[in-house]
Amino acid sequence: MNVVSRRTFIVAAVAAFVFTAVPATAQVPSGKLVLYTSQPERDASQTVAAFKKTYPGVDVDVFRSGTTEVMGKLAAEFSAGQPKADVLLLADAATMEALKKDGRLLPYPQARLDGFDSGAYDADRTYFGSKLITTGIAVNTAAKNRPASWADLAKPEYKGQIAMPSPLYSGAAAIMLGTMTARPDLGWSYFEKLKAADAVAVRGNGAVVTAVANGEKPYGVLVDFMAFNAKLKGSPIDFIFPAEGNPAVTEPVAILKTTANQPAAKAFIDFILSDEGQKLAVSMGYIPAKATVGMPSWYPAGAKIKLMPTDISKVVETNSANLKRFADLFGN
């Protein structure tokens, strides 16, 4: 090679490097990211810590509270005209649907969704499920009976011994209500039977796991990870996958349209959907949304969980009517 072409080569190489590297650096997310979430606090801090390891330039501010509190805070911010949140990680898709209908969410069509079941994310790419949280039957190890199906709970031997999370206060329970009442084999008659069995609807899954582990209500309707995390710590609690199947929520993540830091927000979504993010969920005791990364330790090897399909738009549509009917049914 003569001198001129070598120099040209070098210049070209350098130029190529600059042109590809610089934009890449310019896209490294930085600045502040505000996350509103209703995850348990431990999980929220672990998620954020792992995210910051991958994207050290981003400073994350987390607001964690119950779903009702988070939505109340958001509603107030919307009303006052200056929402502060960039990303939301909430319990269930019904809540996200409501926000989407209100035009509050920013679509992220470039999200990498290979390996994800189509039911796990919104068709319009406004929200994406981060994990799979199923609801099943929790049982105190000292309890006399072991129900094998949802229908079993309605039997007389379980009377007065069941706790369930109230759909009036828990989005996940609202989805469960909508899903189960839409099924012919369960429907509203199932809940009427539960009411006749003196089932108690408490405020949130946390109260259910406490009641079941305590033995106050030896049988409970509960989300999987809570039962298994308690069991790991030594609580006398077992989790049963009922024969009819498990309703599930996906704990979706979404970006608010009014976000002040789109690159960082998108990076957060990327992280959640990445293998690393999904493996983190597994390590926290959740079934991941991307089944291929593995399963949590409590998952029975080789088993296949029967999920109850949820028509999310139908659930959202019938939500207020369902809640009202539930309130009337379980009222005093």
Partner 1 sequence: MSDPIQMIDAGGLRERVEDSALLWSLVLVVAVLSVLPLARLLLEGIAPAGHLSADALLRVLGTSSTWTATQHSLVTAFGGTLLAVVVGTLVALTVSLTDIRGANAFVFCFVAPLLLAAQVVALAWLQVFGPSSTLLKLIGIAPPMGSRNPLYSAGGIILVLGVQYAPLVFLTLRAGLRSLPQELLEAGLAGGAGPMKVVRTIVMPLMTPPLLASVALCFVSCLGNFGIPALLGIPGNYLVLPTLIYQRLAGLGPGVLSEVAVLSVLIGAIAVIGIVSQDLLLRGRDFRTVSASAVARPFELQRWRLPVEVALWTLTALLLVLPLTALVLTSLVPAVGVPLNFESATADNYHFVLLEHAGTRRALRNSFGLSATAAIAIVVIAVPLAYFLVWRRNRLLRLVNLVTEVPYALPGVVLAIAAILVFLKPLPLLGVSLYNTIWIILFCYLARFLVLGLRPIISGYHQLDRTLEEASQIAGARLLRRLVTIIMPLVAPAAAAGALLIFLTAFNELTVSALLWSSGTETLGVVFFSFQQGGDSTYAAALGVLTVMVSFGLMLATLALANRLPRGVLPWRD
Residues 219-238 that bind partner 1 (CB under 8 A): 226, 229-230, 233-237
Site for partner 1 in 84-123 (CB under 8 A): 84, 94-95, 98, 102
Establish if 40 lies at the interface with partner 1 (CB under 8 A).
Answer: yes
**How far, CA to CA in Å, does 244 sit from each of 111, 126, 135, 176, 308?**
33, 31, 12, 13, 8
* Minimum CB distance to partner 1 smaller for 171 or for 247: 171
Q: How far apart are CA 248 and CA 315, in angstroms?
A: 13
Q: Smallest distance, Å, CB 299 to partner 1?
A: 19
Q: Smallest distance, Å, CB 185 to partner 1?
A: 26
* Minimum CB distance to partner 1 smaller for 230 or for 248: 230
Give alpha helix (H) positions in the chain: 3-26, 41-54, 67-80, 93-101, 150-153, 171-181, 187-196, 205-214, 224-233, 262-273, 275-283, 312-330
Site for partner 1 in 146-185 (CB under 8 A): 159-161, 166, 168-171
Site for partner 1 in 118-147 (CB under 8 A): 140, 142-143
Establish if 312 lies at the interface with partner 1 (CB under 8 A).
Answer: no
Q: How far apart are CA 236 and CA 142, in angstroms?
A: 7
Number of residues that bind partner 1 (CB under 8 A): 71
Establish if 284 lies at the interface with partner 1 (CB under 8 A).
Answer: no
Q: What does the H/E/C string look like for 252-277?
A: EEEEECCCCCHHHHHHHHHHHHCHHH
Establish if 209 lies at the interface with partner 1 (CB under 8 A).
Answer: yes
Q: How far apart are CA 318 and CA 23, in angstroms?
A: 47
Establish if 200 lies at the interface with partner 1 (CB under 8 A).
Answer: yes
Q: How far apart are CA 125 and CA 142, in angstroms?
A: 46
Establish if 62 lies at the interface with partner 1 (CB under 8 A).
Answer: yes
Q: Smallest distance, Å, CB 86 to partner 1?
A: 13
